[in-house]
C-alpha cells in the first residue's frame, strides 16, 4: 500500500491542499472496495501498565506530523470518476486516539471493531488508535504472564484480572499498510518515553595482533 516516503504537503495556510494520485495498488484496492467487506489492518500492542492519556495523545499527534504522508484523505469527486487522488492535510481531521470504556468484553469489542469498522477514507488520517485499559475480569484457562490470578471463593473457578493496557491500531488498508503505521507507532513510543528507539550501532570488534610463531 501507500508508503510514507512521498512528497510532503505544502506548507502555509493559504496554499491549496496538495493532491497525490493513487498509486496502482491503492487504485485497484479502491475500485474493489465494498462496504460489507472492510479492508482493515489490525495491530495489537500489549503493555504491562497504564498510560497517561494526555501524554499519549500528544505523542501520537506529534508522530503523525513527523510522518506527514499519513495525514491524508481521499480527495472528493464524482462517484463515477475513474481515477482517485489523495489530499494531504496539515492536521488530522479527527481525534485519532480514543479510550473506550473498560469492561469485561472490552478486548473482544475492540477486536470486532477492528475487523468490521474501517476508518473512513474521507477523513485524515485513515487510522485510529483505541486504548483499552483494565480490560476487566476474564474467566477461563488462558492467561499470560501479565495477567494476575485471583480466587473467587473457596471452590469456585479462578478469575483473571487484566492489569495492563492494549493498544488497538486499526488501518484502512486501501490507504496504508502495517509496516508504514508501525513506524508511526514506534515514533509515538519514542516521543512518549523520551528515548530514541532507533536501532543501536553494531558493536565494533578490535583486531588483536597475535605473536608470530616460527
Least confident of 27-41, 95-109, 149-163: 149-163
Number of Cβ within a 10 Å radius of residue 161: 13
* Banded pLDDT at 201 (limits 50, 70, 90): low
Least confident of 62-66, 81-85, 177-181: 81-85
Hey, is 163 helix, strand or coil?
A: coil
> C-alpha distances in angstroms, 73 versus 87, 92, 119?
5, 10, 11
* Banded pLDDT at 143 (limits 50, 70, 90): very low
Distance of alpha carbon 72 from alpha carbon 64, whole angstroms: 11
Kindly report the backbone phi and psi dihedral angles of residue 23, in degrees, each rounded to the nearest multiple of 5, phi listed first: -65, 165
Residue-wise DSSP of 97-115: EE-PPP-TTHHHHHHHHHH
For residues 116-130, give the mean pLDDT. Answer: 95
Model pLDDT, residue 204: 65
Domains of the chain from N-terminus onward: 19-193 (3.30.559.10)
Distance of alpha carbon 204 from alpha carbon 118, whole angstroms: 46
Tens digits of per-residue pLDDT, 149-188? Answer: 333 444 444 434 457 899 999 999 989 888 989 999 999 9
pTM above 0.75, yes or no: no
Kindly report the backbone phi and psi dihedral angles of residue 110, in degrees, each rounded to the nearest multiple of 5, phi listed first: -65, -40
- Interhelix angle 53-66/178-193, nearest 10 degrees: 130
DSSP state of 85: E
For residues 130-137, give the mean pLDDT. Answer: 74
Amino acid at each position: 500500500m501507500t508508503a510514507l516516503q512521498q512528497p510532503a504537503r505544502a506548507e502555509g495556510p493559504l496554499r491549496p491542499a496538495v493532491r497525490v494520485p493513487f498509486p496502482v495498488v491503492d487504485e485497484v484496492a479502491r475500485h474493489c472496495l465494498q462496504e460489507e467487506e472492510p479492508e482493515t489492518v489490525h495491530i495489537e500492542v500489549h503493555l504491562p501498565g497504564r498510560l497517561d492519556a494526555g501524554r499519549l495523545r500528544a505523542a501520537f499527534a506529534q508522530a503523525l506530523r513527523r510522518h506527514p504522508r499519513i495525514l491524508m484523505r481521499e480527495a472528493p469527486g464524482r462517484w463515477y470518476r475513474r481515477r482517485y487522488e489523495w489530499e494531504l492535510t496539515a492536521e488530522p481531521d479527527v481525534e485519532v486516539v480514543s479510550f473506550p470504556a473498560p469492561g469485561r468484553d472490552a478486548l473482544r469489542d475492540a477486536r470486532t471493531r477492528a475487523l468490521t469498522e474501517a476508518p473512513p477514507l474521507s477523513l485524515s488520517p485513515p487510522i485510529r488508535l483505541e486504548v483499552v485499559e483494565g480490560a476487566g475480569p476474564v474467566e477461563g484457562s488462558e492467561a499470560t504472564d501479565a495477567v494476575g490470578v485471583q480466587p473467587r471463593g473457596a471452590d469456585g473457578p479462578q478469575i483473571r484480572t487484566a492489569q495492563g493496557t492494549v493498544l488497538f491500531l486499526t488501518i484502512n488498508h486501501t490507504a496504508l499498510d502495517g509496516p508504514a503505521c508501525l513506524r508511526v507507532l514506534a515514533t509515538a513510543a519514542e516521543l512518549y518515553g523520551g528515548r530514541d528507539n532507533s536501532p543501536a550501532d553494531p558493536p565494533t570488534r578490535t583486531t588483536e595482533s597475535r605473536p608470530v610463531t616460527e
